Amino acid sequence: MEDESDTDEQSRYIVPGLRRGLAALRLFTRDRAVVSVPEISRELKISRATAFRIVYTLEADGYLQRTPHSHAYKLGVNVLSLGFEYLGSQDLLDIARPVLEKLRDDTDASAHMGLRDGTQVVYVLKSASQHRLRSNVSVGTRLALHATSIGQALLLDTPRAELDRLFEGFEMLQYSDQTPATVQQLVDRLDEHRPRGYVAYRSAYAKGIDSVAAPVRDAQGAIVAGINVSDHESLPIMQEQHGRLKDLVMEAAASISMQLGYRPPARR
C-alpha cells in the first residue's frame, strides 16, 4: 500500500495548469472535432476564465485552432505532429515482430513480413511454425514481386501507369500457371484482390504451399509492407483461406498499421 506521505510528496510536483490543458485536448475525439470554451468549462468543471486561458495558450502554441466565424476550436497541427513524430520513431520491425508471432501462434503456421525493393519482395521478418513441413522462406530472401502473395499485396494501390514503368523491360518469369505473364494480367489479378483487401494463393508460387497476404499501411495510408501466412497446404488453417485465415491475417495487418498511425477512413 502506498504511504500517504509519498502521495502528498508526489502531488507537489504536479502542475495543475498542464493537467487541465491535457484534459482539454482529450475532449477532442474522432466524433467530436470541434469544442467550444463553454463546453470545456462545463466538462472540466472550471471557470470560463480559466478555460479561456487554457484555450488561448494552446492556440498560441499551435495545439488548437479557432474554427472560422466561430468561438469554437479544433485540434491544431502541432497536436498531430506530436503523435506522428512518436509513431514515426517506432521501428516497423519492432512493432511487427510480436504481431507476427501471435499470428503464427493463432494459425499454427508460418508468418512473414516483406518490403518492396524494385521488382522484388525482400523478406525482413519470419515467425516459423513448428511443423516439419513448413515454409522455407528465410529473412533476407528476395522473391519476384509480381508472382508472390506479399508482392501482390504491396501492389494493391499501384496505378497502372506506375506498373507499366516498374515492369518495363522486365521478364515476368512464370512460377506456375497462375503467375501473371504480362502487366495486364497482373492488373487483372490486382483488380480481383483489391475489393477483398487481401491476396490468397494455392500452390501459385511453390507447389504445395498456400498463403494469404495483406498490406500494411503507414500514417498517410500508403502501403509500406506486406504480411502473410504461408505454409504447407496440409495444415488445417490453410483450408480456411477465405474464412478464419484471412480474418486473422487482415487483423494482424490492421494492428501493425494502426501502431504506425494509420486510421481507416470512416464508413459512410
- Tell me what pLDDT residue 247 has: 94
Q: How many CA atoms lie within 13 A of 246 on its CB side?
A: 14
Place of cell 470545456: 40
* 8 A C-beta contact, residue 140 and residue 166: no
- Tell me what pLDDT residue 52 has: 94
Q: What is the pLDDT of residues 210-260, one digit of tens each?
A: 899 999 998 889 999 999 998 888 888 888 878 899 999 999 999 999 988
Helix, strand, or coil (residue 157)? coil
The pTM assigned to this predicted structure is 0.65
- Tell me what pLDDT residue 8 has: 59
- Tell me what pLDDT residue 81 has: 59
* 8 A C-beta contact, residue 172 and residue 217: no
- Tell me what pLDDT residue 136 has: 67
Distances in whole angstroms, Cα of residue 186 to Cα of each of 85, 120, 154, 159, 212: 36, 15, 12, 12, 17
* 8 A C-beta contact, residue 237 and residue 229: yes
All three cell numbers of 259, joined, read 501502431
All three cell numbers of 110, joined, read 508460418
Q: What CA–CA distance (Å, rounded) separates 109 from 234?
A: 11
Q: Which residues of the chain register pLDDT less than 70?
A: 1-10, 30, 77, 80-90, 131-136, 203-204, 266-268
Q: What CA–CA distance (Å, rounded) separates 198 from 156?
A: 9
Q: Which amino acid is at 214?
A: A
Q: Domains in the chain, ordered, with CATH? A: 13-82 (1.10.10.10), 90-259 (3.30.450.40)
* 8 A C-beta contact, residue 232 and residue 131: yes
